[in-house]
A and B are shown apart, each in its own frame.
Chain A
Amino acid sequence: MQPAVDLQPAQPLISARGLTKSFDGRTAVDGIEFDIQAGQCFGFLGPNGAGKTTTLRMTMGLTPVSGGTLSVFGLPVQEHASAIRARTGIVPQAENLDPDFTVQENLQIYASFFGLPRTAVANRIDALLDFVSLTDRRHSRPDALSGGMQRRLTIARALINDPELVVLDEPTTGLDPQARHVIWGRLNELKNSGKTLLLTTHYMEEAERLCDELVIMDHGRILAQGAPRDLVSHYVEPEVIEVRGAPDDIEALASAAGCRLERMGSSLYCYTHRPAELTGQLKDRPRLRYIHRPTGLEDVFLRLTGRELRD
């Protein structure tokens, strides 16, 4: 691949080829390749330890690359990390707001790290506080905020330099459902305003709602890549009947009805193109609890990454 100097219209915003990272002989990221186009919301979906965060840190020059090539904004990351971060907003996995400063001061100090003078960002800070609904908490300390508010402040902080690219590492992990919906709403607004979003998550719903394109990662490798809908139609049958606490004879019944079966815990997942064949028989057994639903990303994910427990 020729190293490109100018950012041409068709050139991806982020491009990785054979990207590898090993820690003391353990391979965390194993020769992955991906291209992220400007204006996209691109997701890394995978179980814990899949190599998502490591990939994200490499793209921001926060951990050295062990092998392969990686460029952001058309610039090789190793040599231009500082310049790349000047045009990026980063939302880390764990909160690292400055506890010594108020909400507003956190934004002011952060702006100063980008070399933005206080007078130049005063209006921007007002707008960002409004965007994340924290205007009335501007004089609070971060530890007086709820988890959802802290997350929103972290997102506002990541936008202080008006970045072209926003990188979010598990943006809603640990938040309650209401707080999560508020964050999703804000991220959608960012996407609509033309920013490129790059996020990691292990929430299927989050990936389905936000991502235009995603990769499913496990053990440092990319298992599948595509738009969420395409992944679902490519990897799994259109419908699934999930039987809870399934007695043994159900397996035979479902197999006979032409289902592909997966067992997880005490549930039996019956994937099928023709659900009526099975549901017709299940209806006769009133004590049986089952859910019939269209398949989603979760089914793709479970199929590709297996069902064993992760730490």
Chain B
Amino acid sequence: MIPLRLPRIRRGALYVWRRNILVWRKLLVPAILMNFGEPVIYLLGLGFGLGHFVGEMAGLPYLTFVATGIIASSSMTTASFEGMYSVFTRMVPQKTYEAILATPLEVDDIMAGEMLWCANKALFSGSAILLVATLLGVVHDWHALLVLPVVFLIGLCFAGPALIMSALAGSYDFFSYYFVLVVTPMFILCGVFYPVDTLPETMHGLVQLLPLTHGVYLTRGLVAGTELAHPWLDVAVLLGFALVSYVIAVALVRRKLLV
């Protein structure tokens, strides 16, 4: 049996993160275009298109409302994609982890490094949206910069579950379930496009359990300058998901690779 040992976070995580950023740098131009392309379409399409009919939502211009939500949801999707498709590629067909495990690094380091990298990609994507939103006049004041660490935290929070899915997956097809059953419902339900309190009352409890809800509270408050009701609770929820999912991911990947 593999000893049930809590993962350790060591320097090795940075080596794994560094490997990934060096690969990313090789495809810099398409990567950056991707970061800008999708959010610009969302912001322009929904903010102006739908915003024309909606006008204001919860006291904010609709473009502002959507833009501040998209920052959170795009961090979620970016980290989830990286943590599933790319991590699975490195874990299974490419055998990158097998190569890394022949060095002093351990599964703990690889998973921590991958989570950092997923959060890093979420940060790239969040920064791109913040820049576009600033140009569109959405940003309230310099406090908006505080959204960057929050975006990183949202990335960590969704990277962990994505790594768990990679550890459980037999093939890429498996990830469709996670997107359909987890990512898309959060995208729709967690307050990106409308305030969560407009949902039927029976759903309020459920929605509060979903981490994206707390991500959106934070990004909207910080960028639009609206009041944050319980920022530390929101941070704690995101951090809690990140830590628990990290521990589970390490245990599952140890079981999968150390055989």
> In the complex, A115→B101 CA distance in Å?
14
* B94 adjacent to A96 (CB under 8 Å): yes
Flag whether A233 is at the interface (Cβ < 8 A): no
Kindly state the interface size class of chain B when it binds its partner.
20 to 34
A222 is an interface residue with CB less than 8 A from chain B: no
Contact B3 A113 (CB under 8 A): no
Verify if B102 is at the interface (C-beta below 8 Å from A). yes
**Does chain A have a CB within 8 A of B105?**
yes
**Contact of B1 with A by CB under 8 A:** yes
Given known pairs A23-B259, A78-B3, the reply for A113 and B98 (CB within 8 Å) is no
- Chain B residues whose C-beta falls within 8 Å of the C-beta of A197 in the assembled complex: none
Given A97-B99, A100-B23: A64 and B104 interface contact (C-beta under 8 Å): no
Q: Work out how many contacts link A and B, with CB atoms closer than 8 A.
A: 66
B2 neighbours in A (Cβ, 8 Å)? 64
Across the interface, do A94 and B95 meet the contact criterion of CB distance under 8 Å? yes
Q: Is B7 an interface residue when CB atoms closer than 8 A count as contact?
A: no
Interface size class, chain A: 20 to 34
Mask: chain A, 77-105; 1 = CB below 8 Å from B; 0 = not? 01001110110001010101111110001
Is the beta-carbon distance between A62 and B101 smaller than 8 angstroms?
yes
Report if A60 contacts B (CB, 8 A): yes
A290 adjacent to chain B (CB < 8 Å): no
Of chain B, the residue at the smallest CB distance from A83 is: B104
Partner of A85 from the list B94, B96, B102, B259 (CB cut-off 8 Å) is B102
A82 to B10, CA, bound (A): 12
Q: What is the CA–CA distance of A105 and B96 in the complex, to the nearest angstrom? A: 14
By CB atoms of chain A within 10 A, which of B16, B18, B94, B104 has the most? Answer: B104
- Which residues from B are CB-within-8-Å of A85? 102-104
- Knowing that A60-B102, A96-B99 touch, tell me 5 more A-B residue pairs with CB under 8 angstroms: A62-B101, A62-B258, A63-B258, A83-B104, A113-B104
A residues with CB within 8 A of B: 23, 60, 62-64, 78, 81-83, 85-86, 90, 92, 94, 96-101, 105, 109-110, 112-115, 158, 161
A-B contact pairs, 7 of them (CB 8 A): A92-B102, A96-B98, A98-B19, A98-B94, A99-B94, A112-B18, A113-B103
